[in-house]
């Protein structure tokens, strides 16, 4: 069982500095998804319930947040 976050940045990131890193590996083992600022990997992270994170990602993919 994995208990430590394995951080990754989206392959869509263009290295412009406005990126987040996600540790999705904890969704299965702990039911949470930590998210952090990629510019500050030692800084704080936000933790979302796995189902809430999945719903957010689905809305992003559907274009819900495009202006």
Q: Residue 13: how many CB atoms within 10 A of its CB? A: 14
Instruction: Give the per-residue pLDDT at 35.
Output: 96
Residues of the chain with pLDDT under 70: 1-2, 15-17
CA-wise closest residue to 39 among 3, 7, 64, 6: 7
Instruction: Give the per-residue pLDDT at 2.
Output: 64
Instruction: Give the per-residue pLDDT at 15.
Output: 66
Residue with tokens 């319930």: 49
Helix (H, G, I), strand (E, B) or coil at 23: coil
| C-alpha distances in Å from residue 53, one per residue of 9, 16, 17, 27 | 15, 23, 22, 9
- 31 within 8 A of 18, measured Cβ to Cβ: no
Instruction: Give the per-residue pLDDT at 23.
Output: 96
Instruction: Give the per-residue pLDDT at 67.
Output: 75
Instruction: Give the per-residue pLDDT at 8.
Output: 92
């Amino acid at each position: 069982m994995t208990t430590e976050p394995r951080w990754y940045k989206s392959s869509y990131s263009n290295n412009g500095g406005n990126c987040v890193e996600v540790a999705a590996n904890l969704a299965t083992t702990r039911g949470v998804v930590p998210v952090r600022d990629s510019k500050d990997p030692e800084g704080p992270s936000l933790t979302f319930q796995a189902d809430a994170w999945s719903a957010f990602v689905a809305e992003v993919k559907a274009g819900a947040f495009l202006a």
